[in-house]
Chains A and B, each alone.
Chain A
Amino acid sequence: ETGVTQSPTHLIKTRGQQVTLRCSSQSGHNTVSWYQQALGQGPQFIFQYYREEENGRGNFPPRFSGLQFPNYSSELNVNALELDDSALYLCASRYRGNTEAFFGQGTRLTVV
């Protein structure tokens, strides 16, 4: 039990739609990162938020966006969904200055 919770656990969307995924960080953690994990692959870094601002981004297009709230919870928004966006989306929280990141159970997104 990492203390990082994500919702929903599963989601099915149609191509072209928009989706919002949510994450509640572990208590005391002020930095949150989002990862995309395709089937059979390792997680890929999407972006990171600290103090409600994005401060690091991976190789993902602008239709992937996020928010971090004052209570350190976070959202991942994906617009104009594509079939290739089908994946497990993972949220990880940590305390800034500490490398050890703790993951939630993930949201399985299927785009049809």
Chain B
Amino acid sequence: GQQLNQSPQSMFIQEGEDVSMNCTSSSIFNTWLWYKQDPGEGPVLLIALYKAGELTSNGRLTAQFGITRKDSFLNISASIPSDVGIYFCAGQLYNQGGKLIFGQGTELSVKP
């Protein structure tokens, strides 16, 4: 099935470090969403982006909707152990209301 290109696939960082991950696509999206999924749970919505160039924060998380509408970035500042999990980007194509296309995920590990 169609997926976004999300990178990196995994990250091992020290507590307190900043983290960056991104998603790219060959298609233009009109919405980008970022989710976090813990083992055995469903994805939890972190940030939603609706306009090209939009920069939105949620606590230590900041996400941006790329100017080209084909990419998005998520940054986590001052990571803590509870940030561990899998982060997914998801995009919605124009005129495909409700259908989200997901990246493969970035698995984040944080060493105390």
Q: CB within 8 Å of B: which residues of A?
A: 2, 4, 6, 31, 33, 35, 40-45, 48, 50, 55-56, 58-59, 90, 92, 94, 96, 99-106, 108
Please tell me if the beta carbons of A99 and B48 are within 8 angstroms of each other in the complex: yes
Please tell me if the beta carbons of B105 and A42 are within 8 angstroms of each other in the complex: yes
Please tell me if the beta carbons of A100 and B42 are within 8 angstroms of each other in the complex: no
A101 / chain B contacts, CB cutoff of 8 Å: 33, 45, 98, 100
Please tell me if the beta carbons of A42 and B44 are within 8 angstroms of each other in the complex: no
By Cβ-Cβ distance, the 5 closest A-B pairs, closest first, are A42-B102, A103-B42, A44-B1, A99-B31, A48-B98
Report if A90-B43 is in contact (Cβ < 8 Å); known contacts: A42-B88, A42-B104.
yes
Q: How far does the Cβ of A30 sit from chain B's closest Cβ, in whole Å?
A: 11
Within 8 Å by CB of B41, from A31, A41, A106, lies A106
Please tell me if the beta carbons of B42 and A56 are within 8 angstroms of each other in the complex: no
A47 to B96, CA, bound (A): 12
Within 8 Å by CB of B42, from A41, A55, A90, lies A90
Chain B contacts with A in 65-100, Cβ cutoff 8 A? 88, 90, 92, 96-100
Q: Which residue of B lies closest to A103 (CB)?
A: B42
B42 / chain A contacts, CB cutoff of 8 Å: 2, 4, 6, 90, 92, 103-106
